[in-house]
With several copies, the nearest count.
Chain A
């Protein structure tokens, strides 16, 4: 009879990589774009120009660093709060903005709420809303990639709350058993809507949940760009070497509301928010770059200005695009429309042509 206890936290092994300084500067630029996008989209939603929005403020460093440490061929399985990753993959702002507007330029054909995008050519899988489901997808894709001998990893993104989901359990267990080349990137932003981290689960850290599945779990300061980069690079190297999966818990904070439908003042204190605002990852990286003299105050202002203009252009372009074609409603349910869908489509076409139609 033996009682298992978590081991005391350990200092990590030496980093496998350090990002070059020029890279860090580009990453900083990207974090600024994410921040500007975020502010702008919150405004667009308030103005009723887009229907909904999920901000990522506080999580920019974690996401961009993670994206930075990955290879373009790696597959991303995001949740709905992953604009930092999207930008790090090189997904153009225009594509994101069109998705937010659900217009005719939206590659998802206006099928989903804002933030639930995905772009196959960027190996960025289309997100859904039910939390956690992407986790086991990433495991399956990793197993498939290994079967095909593709030297890539898959990465799933999810929050602290999502560690309670069925797919967290199933996905991590399968990954352990099959030693899938995958990384579980958990952004612990301390809240799942109104539920604080400590009421989500009683484990001391989320990372230690990996023990239950027989592979390493690491905690990393998610406000620290370089620390996240190292953790991801190391996990990626392990996976590629055939040494299996890693769970990374990036400790961050959701500085904004859960979404534009949420009012965080109902459940958390201003003091807590203020405390975490001190750790703003964008400000922190700026400070580091300034300290190392890689960035001047003028450069920084130029970076912000450029970001604002880029975002403004994307909004303007998106607003000019026409609405999505109504008859696309019936596409992509199946590879080809069934006879019933053809009929329903004709019915709608008739209705739109003037005559009111019965549905199906």
Chain B
């Protein structure tokens, strides 16, 4: 065990994978000498050479397209997209090719690429360095979507993703790259995909969150520990495929659900959860489901602090939900 920040845990995860498996290679913009703009790949080019840690030209289309070609050939490429906001030039490659290769070939061509990208707000990055685009990918059959919220999960989920057989979009909450640290197991530590984590047990209400939002959710829950209702916090970790079992069990137990994410509400990931409850847990629900999310606007710059969900807003939603039934 070592105390690491989240971004260090990502770095160690990559190092471990590259050490254990010569087929793992990294590619992306500024990931080599520069170690990535967030230093997630710091030191890796030095350790593994420029053939396995490849600085690419400025083209996300090219990064993902060549990564797919490498994967078809049998390597395990882990491309980095510098900011998730810049993933869109690769959208066609991801949605039309990566997601569909295994299916369209009748299983002949698995295509295992793990795309890493820092996502989310809280770094004063404005419209183009703050977005949360997870819903686009979660809606795309054939892709897995993974978002860690702790350093240990960052390493453990990343290693599971790299050793998975399917394409994974691995989104890292950049806001807590350094703001959160914790104990991380050494070696080839893996956290299975497809399993949500009960970050805090509770019996009156369930808060569902992922990535950076798990922390204000926990704060809000803790602030009620003495006096208020008993709040469970579920950290989804794998957004697709969703761990329906854990999620439904929690809401069936508590009968109340608050869903938190940074992305705009409309057709956001939270919509799937709310709909799931209306379909499969309707008669357990004691109160309307509430979503605490980013507003239905592009991500702002000067007013970022007002845009992002935070502990007071989550608390308010918890109180409202408790009052409603």
Contacts and interface: CB of A to CB of B under 8 A. Distances in A.
Interface of A: 51-52, 75, 77, 102-103, 106-113, 116, 118-120, 125-126, 128-131, 133, 135-145, 147-148, 154, 161-162, 164-167, 169-171, 173-174, 177-178, 192-195, 199-201, 261-262, 266-267, 323-324, 326, 328-335, 338-341, 344, 348, 351-352, 355-360
A352 B165 CA distance: 31
Contacts of B67: 140
Contact of A133 (B97, B129, B317, B320): B97
B65 A139 contact: yes
A360 B54 CA distance: 42
B126 interface: yes
16 contacts: A109-B302, A111-B301, A126-B109, A136-B61, A139-B69, A165-B59, A166-B59, A171-B62, A195-B29, A329-B295, A333-B141, A333-B297, A348-B295, A352-B306, A359-B295, A359-B313
Contacts of A139: 62, 65-66, 69
Query: Lowest 8 A-B CB distances belong to which pairs?
Result: A140-B69, A136-B65, A110-B302, A170-B62, A140-B66, A129-B128, A102-B302, A144-B73
Interface residues of B, number: 90
Contact of A341 (B58, B69, B297, B300): B297
A354 B215 CA distance: 24
A193 B74 CA distance: 31
A194 B30 CA distance: 6
A110 B124 CA distance: 11
Contacts of A129: 85-86, 126-129
A352 B294 CA distance: 16
A360 B296 contact: yes
Contact of B30 (A103, A195, A324): A195
B312 A356 contact: yes
B23 to A, nearest CB: 9
Interface in B219-259: 241-242, 244-245
Given A51-B124, A195-B30, 10 more contacts: A102-B302, A112-B127, A118-B108, A126-B109, A129-B86, A130-B128, A164-B59, A194-B34, A344-B295, A359-B265
Contacts of B124: 51-52, 113
A84 to B, nearest CB: 21
Contacts of A355: 316
Contacts of A200: 57-58
B187 interface: no
A279 B144 CA distance: 51
Contacts of A351: 313
Nearest to B315: A356
Contacts of A173: 57, 59, 62
